[in-house]
Amino acid sequence: MRTYKRKTECGKISKEIYEKAAAILEKDKTKKNRGIAKDLGLCHKSLTRYLKKRKEVKEKGTPIESGSQLATRRIDKFSTMNKRAF
């Protein structure tokens, strides 16, 4: 049996780092997402997605789940698209 060896470090950044970036951006409105992401070693697009999800969760008042909300939305959107096609 072979042992899997991970080739990249993608997806290994903890939630605490994203929260730290969000706190910095909330404190200092003059800073940009790209600059903070670069300083903390994050992808700017991932940080933007995280901030968008965080904002939606704060508005609704539900806890952040690890990607399940996004997957559910995609499935719902796909199923409504299929209903329209037929």
> Do 22 and 50 contact (CB within 8 A), yes or no?
yes
Query: So what's the pLDDT on residue 6?
Result: 87
- Token output for 46: 């991932």
Give the side-chain half-sphere CA count within 13 A for 42. Answer: 25
Distance between CA 77 and CA 68 in Å, rounded? Answer: 14
Domain borders along the chain are 15-85
Over its length of 86 residues, how does the chain's per-residue pLDDT go in tens digits?
899 998 887 778 889 999 999 999 999 989 999 999 999 999 999 999 999 999 999 888 866 555 545 444 555 555 555 555 55
Query: So what's the pLDDT on residue 72?
Result: 47
69: CB partners within 8 A, 6+ apart: 53
